[in-house]
């Protein structure tokens, strides 16, 4: 679409007294390589193109999307939205020259040969199977995403950008005496195949294989309230879900968050500084601009225990009387943007991991968390611990199974007792009102003084 077309459609959108109109034009190429049974099982490719149209009036927002990009259909789509607005004086829209914010990578997805991608997956399979005869299946995959988009709105903004994502994943399965276990691992970034330069495939695979075999001998654990140590990286999913979502304007503006009335208040221990930073170079959840065309920021949400900021998108900024801070995100053109996390992490501290472990007579070391659920209105959460170990008499002991963490977001913030300096971030996906988006979550190793730990006994 050309500049004149964007201006034409925006002027139509603003012709009945709307306050704001936006067009979001997007093309996406997704490609997934899957290995199973020691062979490249399939390659799935999906290409999409479409246009999202948003029109705001006061505190009302209307959104429509289409992949039929004929002039007649786009105009009909806009007219359907305009039925929600009374007739009024129209406002003239003139766009600036196109601002280019596209990102370059060192090795693009197309430049890296398919044969090398196949070799990479077969190498993961070989290393894992050679580690132990107990390993009976290996699944491995590569996910590639190339997204290009243009944003044009009634303020005159006219900007194009892109997103390039690469992710390597594996699931390794093991079985012994009828006991079956699975371990999932991945590494990812907002880069091309230079991602492989900073990740050791052998180390990555052996670590995954070692853990899945260890899980076969895991023992049941009697639940109760215990101190826990949560390992760096994906352990931060508990803060992402239980705290991060409650700090998004989507929940805060309509007072659906347990944190809606806590701005400026002390909600955590002095140890806790929680940051969402969309500017981290080459991170999985980073971008130069957000999906509203605003520059991303490093947003300090909680600083030394005090709630200092929310994640605010452009639309909710009016309701909250706060500035948008570059967190308007969406899965694709089918979704209207809303406030979302990008790279969310707990800032490093100065405590020593060995001191955390030594301080616990009986507790749990949560090496890796998996899925869970949280109610943002109350802060109550329940998370499964994928890999957990017993802490006994100040030492890490045997592997546990069936462990869960049950608690409340406000409680856990007040019970963070120690934080080390080994910050690590991990990639994942987050689902919410504007679809499923790539995010990273991270933390150093932390000690929580007490939390309800669910077990099988």
pLDDT, tens digit, 9 for 90 and up, residues 92-103: 899 999 999 999
177: burial class by Cβ within 10 Å (0-12, 13-18, 19+)? exposed
Confidence (pLDDT) at 457: 62
Give the 3-state secondary structure of residue 54: strand
Res. 293: pLDDT tops 70? yes
Measured distance CA(246)–CA(409) in Å, rounded: 9
Structural contact between residues 144 and 163, judged by C-beta atoms closer than 8 angstroms: no
Confidence (pLDDT) at 375: 86
Average pLDDT over the chain, rounded to an integer: 95
Res. 371: pLDDT tops 80? no
106-165 pLDDT, tens digit each? 999 999 999 999 999 999 999 999 999 999 999 999 999 999 999 999 999 999 999 999
What average pLDDT does the segment 185-199 reach? 97
Confidence (pLDDT) at 437: 97
Res. 275: pLDDT tops 90? yes
Res. 456: pLDDT tops 80? no
Res. 27: pLDDT tops 70? yes
| Displacement of CA 355 from its chain's centroid (Å) | 31
Structural contact between residues 352 and 420, judged by C-beta atoms closer than 8 angstroms: yes
Structural contact between residues 391 and 229, judged by C-beta atoms closer than 8 angstroms: yes
237-271 pLDDT, tens digit each? 888 988 999 999 999 999 999 999 999 999 999 99
DSSP codes, 337-367 = -EE--SEEEEPP----HHHHHHT-SEEEEEE
Bridge partner list, 276: 299, 344
Confidence (pLDDT) at 241: 87
Confidence (pLDDT) at 318: 86
Q: What percentage of the chain exceeds 70 in pLDDT?
A: 100
Under the banding of pLDDT at 50, 70 and 90, the label for residue 440 is very high
Confidence (pLDDT) at 372: 78
Question: How distant, in Å, are the alpha carbons of 60, 160, 359, 449 from that of 362?
Answer: 53, 55, 9, 12
Nearest CA-CA partner of 182 in 213, 224, 225, 141: 213
What average pLDDT does the segment 422-426 reach? 95
Question: How distant, in Å, are the alpha carbons of 159, 234, 408 from that of 382?
Answer: 41, 15, 9
The angle formed by the CA atoms of residues 270, 256 and 290, to the nearest 5 degrees, is 75
H/E stretch holding 115: helix 114-131
Q: What percentage of the chain exceeds 90 in pLDDT?
A: 90
Instruction: Count other C-beta atoms under 10 Å from residue 110's C-beta.
Output: 12
Confidence (pLDDT) at 234: 85
């Amino acid at each position: 679409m050309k500049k004149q077309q964007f201006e034409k459609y925006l002027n139509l959108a603003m012709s009945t007294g709307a306050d704001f109109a936006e067009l979001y034009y997007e093309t996406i190429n997704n490609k997934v390589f899957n290995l199973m049974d020691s062979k490249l099982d399939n390659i799935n490719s999906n290409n999409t193109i479409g246009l999202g149209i948003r029109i705001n009036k006061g505190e009302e927002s209307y959104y429509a999307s289409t992949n039929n990009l004929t002039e007649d259909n786009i105009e009909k789509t806009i007219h359907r939205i305009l039925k929600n607005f009374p007739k009024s004086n129209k406002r003239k829209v003139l766009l600036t020259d196109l601002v280019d914010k596209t990102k370059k990578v060192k090795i693009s997805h197309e430049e890296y040969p398919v044969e090398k991608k196949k070799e990479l997956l077969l190498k993961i399979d070989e290393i894992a199977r050679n580690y132990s005869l107990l390993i009976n299946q290996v699944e491995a995959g590569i996910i590639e995403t190339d997204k290009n988009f243009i944003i044009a709105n009634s303020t005159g903004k006219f900007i194009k950008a892109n997103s390039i994502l690469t992710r390597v994943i594996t699931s390794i399965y093991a079985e012994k005496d009828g006991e079956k276990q699975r371990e999932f691992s991945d590494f990812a970034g907002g880069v091309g195949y230079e991602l492989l330069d900073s990740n050791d495939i052998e180390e990555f695979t052996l670590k995954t294989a070692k853990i899945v075999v260890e899980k076969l001998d895991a023992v049941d654990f009697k639940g109760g309230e215990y101190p826990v140590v949560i390992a760096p990286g994906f352990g931060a999913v508990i803060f992402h879900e239980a705290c991060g979502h409650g700090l998004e304007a989507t929940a805060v503006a309509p007072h659906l968050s347990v944190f809606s009335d806590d701005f400026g208040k002390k909600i955590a221990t002095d140890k806790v500084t929680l940051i969402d930073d969309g500017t981290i170079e080459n991170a999985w959840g980073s971008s130069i601009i957000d999906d509203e065309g605003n520059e991303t920021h490093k947003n300090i949400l909680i600083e030394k225990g005090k709630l200092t900021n929310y994640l605010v998108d452009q639309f909710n900024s009016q309701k909250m009387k706060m500035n948008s801070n570059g967190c308007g995100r969406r899965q694709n053109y089918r979704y209207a943007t809303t406030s979302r996390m990008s790279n969310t992490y707990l800032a490093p501290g100065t405590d020593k991991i060995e001191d955390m472990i030594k301080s616990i007579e009986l507790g749990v070391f949560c090496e890796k968390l998996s899925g869970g659920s949280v109610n943002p209105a109350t802060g109550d959460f329940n998370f499964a611990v994928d890999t957990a170990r017993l802490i006994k008499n100040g030492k890490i002991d045997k592997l546990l199974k069936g462990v869960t963490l049950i608690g409340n977001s406000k409680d856990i913030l007040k019970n963070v007792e120690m934080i080390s300096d080994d910050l690590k971030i991990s990639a994942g996906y987050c689902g919410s009102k504007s679809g499923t988006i790539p995010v990273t979550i991270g933390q150093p190793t932390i000690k929580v003084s007490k939390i309800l730990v669910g077990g099988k006994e």
